[in-house]
Amino acid sequence: MTVDWYRADGRPATSAEAQRLLLDVRGRLLAQDVIYVGSEVVVVSTWFTVIDQGLASNGRPLLWQTIVSDMTTHADIGQYTTREQARRGHAEAVVLISKRLRHLATRPAGEEDPP
């Protein structure tokens, strides 16, 4: 039997539970940070997906996802099997993105990043 939907604790969900979970957008949002550096605005959001995004190395479903967005791009930068992993991954992403944006904002004009 293939499991299509999951609860936040990783247990299978019925289609009715999955529908309720998917419609509860605020309830699925674990964390969201808006990062402002100069004129750049980037949003880091971590969500419970309800649907398995693929199996992790431990064989568990990937049910949490961190996405980084600006005005033009959305990038998936992390997937996790548990809420706690997602919480840590989100915090790490905020630090990483903040440092990167500060570096870009403070580098001399015309200087490019190394390849």
Q: Give the tens place of pLDDT for each residue, 7-25.
A: 999 899 999 999 999 999 9
Residue 102 lies in a domain: yes
Residue 84 lies in a domain: yes
Residue 91 lies in a domain: yes
Residue 46: closest CA among 4, 11, 92, 9: 92
Q: Give the tens place of pLDDT for each residue, 23-58.
A: 999 999 999 999 998 888 999 999 999 998 886 667
Predicted TM-score (pTM) of the model is: 0.82
- Say how many domains are in the chain: 1
From the number of C-beta atoms within 10 Å of its C-beta (0-12, 13-18, 19+), residue 86 rates as buried
Residue 1 lies in a domain: no
Residue 115 lies in a domain: no
Residue 67, domain extent? 15-106
